[in-house]
C-alpha cells in the first residue's frame, strides 16, 4: 500500500472524510506530528499505543571498505529513524508464509 492508497482507504473507512482531500490533510497532519515529535528532541520516541514507536538513533562513524577497490574508507556518523511495531500491530498482522524450496 502506498500513500495514495492509504488516503483512499482513510476516505472510505474513516468518519468525516467526505473527500480525498480531507483524508489527505488528516494523514499529512498525523505524519507531520510524528516528524515534529522526532525533530523536537532527537532522542525522543514518538509512541502510538497499539501501533508502535518511532525513534531517532545515531550511528557512529566507522571504517568501511569500498567493495569495488577494496580500499578502506571512513563512513561519517549519521542518524536514522527506526520503527518498532507494538504488540497489537504484531498480533493483527498475519505471519508470512515460509518460502518454498526451489
Domains and CATH numbers, the chain: 1-40 (no CATH), 43-93 (4.10.520.10)
The per-residue pLDDT for range 35-89, each reduced to its tens digit, is 999 988 767 899 999 999 999 998 999 999 999 999 999 999 999 999 999 999 9
Burial environment of residue 57 by CB neighbours within 10 A (0 to 12, 13 to 18, 19 or more)? exposed
What integer pLDDT is reported at residue 44 of this predicted model? 82
Closest CA to 50 of 14, 86, 82: 86
Burial environment of residue 10 by CB neighbours within 10 A (0 to 12, 13 to 18, 19 or more)? middle
Alpha carbon 29 to its chain's center: 15
The per-residue pLDDT for range 54-63, each reduced to its tens digit, is 999 989 999 9
Rounded to two decimals, the pTM is 0.73
Amino acid at each position: 500500500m502506498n500513500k495514495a492508497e492509504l488516503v483512499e482507504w482513510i476516505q472510505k473507512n474513516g468518519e468525516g472524510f467526505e473527500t480525498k482531500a480531507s483524508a489527505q490533510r488528516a494523514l499529512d497532519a498525523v505524519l507531520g506530528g510524528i516528524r515534529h515529535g522526532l525533530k523536537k528532541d532527537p532522542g525522543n520516541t514518538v509512541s502510538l499505543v497499539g501501533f508502535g514507536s518511532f525513534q531517532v538513533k545515531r550511528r557512529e562513524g566507522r571504517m568501511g571498505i569500498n567493495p569495488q577497490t577494496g580500499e578502506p574508507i571512513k563512513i561519517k556518523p549519521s542518524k536514522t529513524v527506526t520503527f518498532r511495531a507494538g504488540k497489537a500491530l504484531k498480533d493483527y498482522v498475519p505471519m508470512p508464509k515460509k518460502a518454498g524450496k526451489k
